[in-house]
Amino acid sequence: MTKVSYARDVLRLALPAAFKHLLDILQLLIDMIMVGMINVAALAAVGMSMQFMMVINVIMTLYIVGGNAIIARLIGEGRKRRASSLLYTLTLFALLISLPITIFGYFNAENFYVWMGAEVDLASYGRDYFEIIMIGMPLIFLDALMYNALSAAGDTKSSLYIKIISAVINLVLNYLFIFGHGGFEAMGIAGAAYATIIAYTLNLLMYGVVLKRKEAKLHLVTTLNKLDLLRALAVGKNASLDRLMSVTSFILFVWVITAYGTSAIAGYQVGLRIEGLAFMPGFGFAIAATALVGQNLGAKKLEAAYETGLYAIKIAALFMGSLGLLLALFPESFIIIFTHDKATIEAASSYLQLVGISQVPLAMTFVINGALRGAGATKTTLRVNVTSLWILRVIPSLILYYLGFELIWIFIAMTVETFIKGGVFWYIYQKREWQSIKV
């Protein structure tokens, strides 16, 4: 293969995935804009719910990351039917493990916010929103599986088209449900949750149509594939532990920011959602790296696996670096869309200025993580991510807080950690030891 073909393969998968994630981010932003019209507490409640979803992602990572690696290799080996039977088995597995999470989450929706140290009004809004989200948790589990499985098989366009339709529907339903237009009763923050769950339902119906097409990359072959399920879980357990330790560190990091007050956490959540516009390309190119590295390793094309990953890193760094520069130079131009609260704007501006200058190492982290997971090197990503987040981010942030430093120093510690971790991942990728891992 030529360098042109490597770049073409990367862009073919990455661009639809990147646009899909852009729509994900825009959907979240629209939710927050509309909910922010209620008050700052409602805005913070929706933002904090994303932290709880990170905890739930720990469980989803168990079967998604390993499933991605095995499906990509099976497709690379030309074993489509076996990959399809694994998708069916993973579907049943996802449903099984989502049910107890749904029950526990529903009855502890308000407690999640209390445990995070949220104020009373914020926790009340959080309960109204998160109880509804938890009822639809099996839909969220299956949606994540279908998207990732099709991406690993080399189809990111179908998910993009599905997302376009559901995002439009979600926007319309937000308008109707939150504010009580079109004859509906005004539901406030609960209306945003109902709109989200209905959108997930439509997603799954459309994925079902895609999987039934003759030309689909995968089908739901109704045969249990226990062998590959165990292989997927063996790969995924390290990724899940990685996510668990990372999420724990993020929760502690958010706890530190929450201690600075509602405006601080609201500003952080607004800044994080805006930053999503910059790191959106990173998700797309990470997905491309996962699929192409896994498929090329399955086909025994080691050089192609390395080169496609390298191109994904370079292009993601270019996109994210350019967008990050805009965030660093003009933060308030983005923030003012969400809120006019002076303290919230100040906190969000500090956050965006610092993350804006660290988008290139963040791009390297995203894409190399994806490439290594596509290769099955989840032990490596576990060691790097956990060590970096805890030693370089969480512990320094706790020390800075208890010593009485201002919020901006917490964001500085986060930025330094991003630069160091990006450099470590680049060194590991260049060594190429991940090419010899067996899954």
Q: List pLDDT tens digits, range 362-407.
A: 999 999 999 999 999 999 999 999 999 999 999 999 999 999 999 9
Asked if residue 82 lies in contact with residue 228, where contact means CB atoms within 8 angstroms, the answer is yes
List of residues 6+ apart from 116 with CB closer than 8 A: 48, 51, 251, 254, 255, 258
Does pLDDT of 121 surpass 80? no
Asked if residue 157 lies in contact with residue 12, where contact means CB atoms within 8 angstroms, the answer is no
- 37-46, 153-162, 331-340, range with greatest mean pLDDT: 153-162
Task: Give the separation between CA 67 and CA 382, rounded to whole angstroms.
Answer: 17
> For the chain, what is the domain count?
1
**Residue 114 burial (CB < 10 Å; 0-12/13-18/19+)?**
middle
**What value does the mean pLDDT take over residues 311-339?**
90
Does pLDDT of 225 surpass 70? yes
Residue 278: pLDDT band (50, 70, 90) is confident
Q: Tell me how far CA of residue 91 lies from CA of 133, 335, 372, in angstroms.
A: 20, 39, 24
- Phi-psi sector, 335: left (phi>0), alpha (psi -120 to 50), beta: alpha
Asked if residue 217 lies in contact with residue 146, where contact means CB atoms within 8 angstroms, the answer is no
> Tokens 């107890």 label which residue?
100
List of residues 6+ apart from 329 with CB closer than 8 A: 356
| Residue-level pLDDT at 3 | 63
Q: Tell me how far CA of residue 47 lies from CA of 29, 37, 121, 182, 368, in angstroms.
A: 10, 14, 14, 27, 27
**What value does the mean pLDDT take over residues 175-196?**
87
Mean pLDDT, the chain, rounded, equals 88
Task: Give the separation between CA 50 and CA 72, rounded to whole angstroms.
Answer: 29
Structure tokens at 409: 């120093």
Asked if residue 194 lies in contact with residue 177, where contact means CB atoms within 8 angstroms, the answer is yes
Domain that holds residue 175: 3-436
Q: Say what the pTM is.
A: 0.81
Does pLDDT of 1 surpass 60? no
| Residues above pLDDT 70, as percent of the chain | 98
Task: Give the separation between CA 168 and CA 124, rounded to whole angstroms.
Answer: 29
Task: Give the separation between CA 387 and CA 393, rounded to whole angstroms.
Answer: 10
